[in-house]
Amino acid sequence: MLWVGYDSTYAPTDVWTYWHGHILHAAWPKSQLAIDVQWGKHGSMPRNVRQSDLPKLQSLNFFYAMTIIGEWDILLGDLTRKGPLCFCHSYRRYLQFTRPLIVSERIDAIVRTEDPGPVLRQVFGRKYSNKHQWP
């Protein structure tokens, strides 16, 4: 999930993404948005975010380690929200965001509302993870 700020010409100027309970923000250079989405049910980051800019204990290094030592957490999470049971690849592959997906061809609707909860539950179902209120 993400929010996009734009100017009067509808060119993007800012992007906010949801990353493991935190909102990440990046100024955007009035060009096509690019977002890196982590595998499974985790989060997304503006393209080219530096590891050091991520919240403490929420770096890609930490989460990769958790895919190995935290397998029980993945299995428990799968009870409420289905997703992959493992990331069965190397750390190098974990850091790659190389499969572009042009979502503009897939967007069915754009909703502008003060309270996105009801719309998100309609789209994602009753097990939707109610995230913090966005910017």
Q: Which two tokens stand for residue 76?
A: 């428990």
Q: Place 27 in a pLDDT band, splitting at 50, 70 and 90.
A: very high
pLDDT value of residue 66: 76
pLDDT value of residue 119: 84
The mean pLDDT value for 15-28 works out to 86
- Is the pLDDT confidence value at 19 over 60? yes
The mean pLDDT value for 63-76 works out to 72
pLDDT value of residue 12: 92
Q: Tens digits of per-residue pLDDT, 80-108?
A: 767 677 777 888 888 888 887 777 787 77
CA angle 53, 58, 61 (to 5 degrees): 90
pLDDT value of residue 99: 80
Closest CA to 26 of 10, 56, 2: 2
Whole-angstrom Cα distance, residue 8 to residue 21? 30
Query: pTM for the complete prediction?
Result: 0.66
What is the residue-averaged pLDDT of the chain? 79
The mean pLDDT value for 113-119 works out to 81
Top pLDDT among 27 and 58 is at 27
The mean pLDDT value for 1-22 works out to 87
